């Protein structure tokens, strides 16, 4: 896990990536509500309004968050303290959507180059606020490029040195933190933001992004995302599990609103992967070879 924090130049680059993809005039009320820039939900402080955020404020949040680890707080006390600091500074614990989005935009997107191919990766949710290994911060450089075990189950194009080939936009379907005392995995608490609202949020994100690119595709990671997204599939909801879909689909591309959609098991669970499903799917999406078919460094195997 990376403990490096972004410098001011990198922060400005990432903020500009968000602003380019989501101009202020294109953020609809529904999209602003999904990301909860107005902070109406209890634990929505992972997102940041990238149009108003500044490096100095984000650095202040990082510093104040790191100080909290020195105090013996319960999980609930820690979560509430982090939330209060973030709301006082009017920023969240990412530079935009979540830290993995930040990481992938910095590594795969150059706003000055032509926008050809876009891949939207849809995960399910973030962990409980304050429950990470590192202090909660918008500045840690963490994400796919610092998670070697995931690389084996991703296409090689995600890690090319040349940007915009393709652009990778990561988003969790559920946009908020889990509550501080919640489990890190499994069903969301009953009073969580509804899946119906999350589906509307996904539609809003795609509605802003798709017109900017020549070709867009969607990849979902894991069982919860697959089950939540299934009702949006153009041919109607599919009721069987992601494991069954990989077995009988073998690389089949589904469609959401005419956009190619490829579901796969979560890359954190190697035993759930179907290599042939991934090979065929990545090829059909023009994303290159899967990591397991490449000669990768030992720590990425």
pLDDT for the residue 298: 44
**Helix/strand/coil (H/E/C) assignment for every residue in 165-205:** CCEEEEEECCCCCECCCCCCCCCCCCCCCCHHHHHHHHHHH
Instruction: Establish if 280 belongs to a structural domain.
Output: yes
Composition of the chain by helix, strand, coil, percent to 5: 45, 10, 45
Report whether pLDDT(115) > 70. yes
pLDDT for the residue 236: 81
pTM equals 0.95
pLDDT for the residue 189: 76
Structural domain span for residue 159: 8-300
As a whole number of Å, the end-to-end CA separation of the chain is: 16
Please give the torsion angle defined by the CA atoms of residues 195, 200, 205 and 207, in that order, rounded to the nearest 10 degrees: 150
Instruction: Establish if 187 belongs to a structural domain.
Output: yes
Q: Domains in the chain: how many in total? A: 1
Instruction: Establish if 1 belongs to a structural domain.
Output: no
Instruction: Establish if 141 belongs to a structural domain.
Output: yes
pLDDT > 90 in the chain, percent: 85
Query: Strand 167-172 relative to strand 117-123: parallel, antiparallel, unpaired?
Result: parallel
- Range 157-161 average pLDDT: 93
Instruction: Establish if 89 belongs to a structural domain.
Output: yes
Q: Is 251:274 a contact under the CB 8 Å cutoff? A: no
Instruction: Establish if 210 belongs to a structural domain.
Output: yes
Predicted confidence band of residue 278 (pLDDT cuts 50, 70, 90): very high
pLDDT for the residue 71: 86
Q: Is 148:196 a contact under the CB 8 Å cutoff? A: no
Instruction: Establish if 2 belongs to a structural domain.
Output: no
pLDDT for the residue 261: 98
254-256 sheet: strands from edge to edge: 167-172, 117-123, 215-221, 259-264, 254-256
**More confident: 294 or 298:** 294
Q: Is 41:176 a contact under the CB 8 Å cutoff? A: yes
Q: pLDDT by residue (tens digit) across 255-276?
A: 999 999 999 999 999 999 999 9
pLDDT for the residue 3: 86
Q: Quote the mean pLDDT of the chain.
A: 94
Question: Which pair of tokens denotes residue 78?
Answer: 């820690």
Q: Is 82:127 a contact under the CB 8 Å cutoff? A: no
């Amino acid at each position: 896990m990376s403990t490096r924090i972004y410098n001011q130049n990198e922060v400005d680059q990432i903020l500009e990536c968000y602003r380019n993809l989501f101009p202020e005039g294109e953020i609809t009320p529904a999209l602003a509500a999904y990301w909860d820039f107005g902070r109406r939900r209890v634990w929505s402080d992972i997102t940041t309004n990238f149009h108003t955020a500044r490096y100095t404020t984000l650095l202040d949040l990082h510093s104040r968050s790191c100080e909290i680890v020195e105090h013996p707080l319960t999980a609930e006390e820690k979560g509430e303290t982090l939330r209060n600091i973030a709301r006082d500074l009017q920023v969240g614990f990412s530079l935009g959507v979540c830290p993995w989005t930040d990481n992938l935009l910095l590594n795969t997107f150059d706003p000055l180059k032509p926008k050809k191919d876009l891949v939207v990766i849809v995960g399910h949710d973030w962990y409980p606020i304050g429950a990470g290994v590192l202090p909660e911060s918008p500045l840690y450089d963490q994400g796919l490029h610092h998670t070697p075990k995931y690389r084996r189950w991703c296409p090689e194009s995600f890690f090319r040195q040349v940007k915009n080939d393709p652009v990778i936009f990561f988003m969790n379907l559920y946009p908020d933190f889990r509550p501080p005392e919640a489990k890190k995995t499994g069903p969301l608490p009953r009073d969580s933001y509804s899946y119906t609202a999350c589906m509307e949020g996904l539609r809003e994100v795609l509605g802003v992004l798709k017109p900017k690119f020549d070709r867009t595709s969607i990849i979902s990671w894991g069982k919860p995302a697959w089950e939540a997204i299934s009702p949006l599939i153009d041919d109607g909801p599919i009721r069987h599990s992601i494991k069954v879909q990989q077995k009988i689909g073998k690389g089949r591309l589904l469609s959401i609103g005419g956009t190619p959609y490829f579901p796969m098991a979560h890359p954190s669970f190697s035993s759930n992967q179907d290599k042939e499903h991934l090979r065929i799917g990545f090829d059909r999406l023009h994303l290159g070879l899967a990591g397991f078919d490449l000669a990768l460094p030992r720590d990425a195997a």
